[in-house]
Structure 1
Amino acid sequence: MSPSARMPREQRRTQLLETAIPMFTQNGFHATSMDDIATAAGVTKPVLYQHFASKEDLYDEVVKVTGQRLIEGIAELADFEGTTLERVRAGLGGFYQLVTEQSALRLFTGHEQVSEQISARVSGVLDEMAVSLATVLLAARSMTDEQARVIGRAMISLTQSTAAMLDGAAEPDRGQILDTVTVLAVHGLTGFEPRPDASVAGTVSPAADASHPGTGR
């Protein structure tokens, strides 16, 4: 069946969405027109508008669909067999892999400002991701629901920043970035040895056992 052939409504909507996702995520909202999407999908612009009232409406759906895929990826961390350090490292790397495979880095790392509605959608997706991560945390650690949500949101913010760093780094440096952020996420600053000549006021806490992301619980 050619792209322009008649399709059931839901199938056509899915096809239009899947066409729009890489165009929006690679080129951005402002540089992508509805004409571009319609042409790529092999339909007329009126057909596109039958399914999405505006470009912003279509972009909103792209964020929603892509975000759901990321949320599902986070939920899968509960099935990861390994230490906490290994699980966190896999989660950081997995998020980066997901957003780059979907070309979604622009959507979820603040690269593009579209409107208050879209910002609210992105924030909502990030909150859902935090809740999904909190569920994983609660399955492994004794903490309150509120603590899990706070830590989940903080971890998602850290994950966003890590994905942006990985995107701008040379391939040989990515492993070091993942290792460093993993130790920070799991052990905090005590994941790094104190300096014997520390020149800060107060006491510098001793280091936790965090010599390598493949060790520890």
Structure 2
Amino acid sequence: MCGDRQGVPVTTRTTRGEPRVRLPRGERRALLLEAALAAFADKGYHATAMDDIAERAGVSKPVLYQHFDSKLELYVALAARVCDDIVDTIESALDSTADNGERIGACLHGFFEFVDRPGSGYPLVFNSDMGTDPAVAPLLESAQNRCGEAIGRVLQDETALSWAECVLLGSTLVGMAQSAARHWVESGSSIPLEHAVELVSTLSWRGMGAVPQSPEQVAARAGSENGDAAG
């Protein structure tokens, strides 16, 4: 049998008659990416061969080449996945609360945890000389832009700033979070995670407090203060 168009594993037999499951293409691809991540993390991109990745994945090299034409293509796919995970982390944090102070804290907490999490792939992608490769650099730039725009959309709803100004501030916050998280990890995480996030959140929030609010936000705050005074 050749493939499984319905995404159902196909059972075949090895030369010894033992059952062997042929995974759906998507599952096989995911397993190959995990094997590549482990191999690259262990030996580095340049010292890793396709044979190393195939061995870790428990497949033959021809099977590996059925999914990826080259080591670079494998790395690019891995980088794209890491970038998507970072953007998802930021967007989920922004959606987790309507309080802007808590949003900043959630974004920073998510970013710190992502950078520190074993297997996230962050160091391999963002701390590698492969980041300047023409096939990789646009992915990293796009991820940072997407994160900056996600924060920018929140700022646009709640401030009197233009879209360009909101994206600028959003990108600045992303850059600060990235720099702080990397320093925290590379310095041995000597400061507890929660305290590190609190410190950077305080700095970020005090800076954002100087941003002019939208008329709607000003009116809402005035209404809230009047209500408190009346009570």
So what's the TM-score if we normalise by structure 1?
0.74
Aligned to 1:198: none
The one-letter code sitting in structure 2 at the alignment partner of 1:24 is F
Write the deviation string for residues 144-185 of structure 1: whole angstroms up to 9, x where unpaired: 221121112111111110111220345551444323322222
1:188 aligns with 2:204: no
1:127 aligns with 2:145: yes
Runs of 4+ residues deviating >6 angstroms = none
Aligned to 2:120: 103
1:40 aligns with 2:56: yes
Shift of 1:127: 1.6
Shift of 1:50: 1.5
The share of aligned pairs that are identical, in percent, is 29
Shift of 1:38: 0.8
Instruction: Name the CA distance, whole Å, in 2 between partners of 1:145 and 1:43.
Output: 49
Larger Rg: 2
Shift of 1:106: 1.2
1:9 aligns with 2:25: yes
Aligned to 1:49: 65
Relative contact order higher in (CA < 8 Å, ≥ 6 apart): 1
The one-letter code sitting in structure 2 at the alignment partner of 1:103 is S
Alpha carbons 2:156, 2:166 under 8 Å: kept: yes
Of 171, 180, 189, 1:162 maps to 180
Instruction: Give matches, 1:66-145, under 5 Å.
Output: 66-81=82-97, 83-101=99-117, 102-107=119-124, 109=126, 111-114=127-130, 115-145=133-163
Of 173, 179, 189, 2:191 maps to 173
Instruction: Name the CA distance, whole Å, in 2 between partners of 1:34 and 1:144.
Output: 48
1:117 aligned counterpart, secondary structure: coil
Structure 2 unaligned regions, length at least 5: 1-10, 12-17, 211-231
Of 132, 147, 151, 2:165 maps to 147
1:32 aligned counterpart, secondary structure: coil
So what's the TM-score if we normalise by structure 2?
0.70
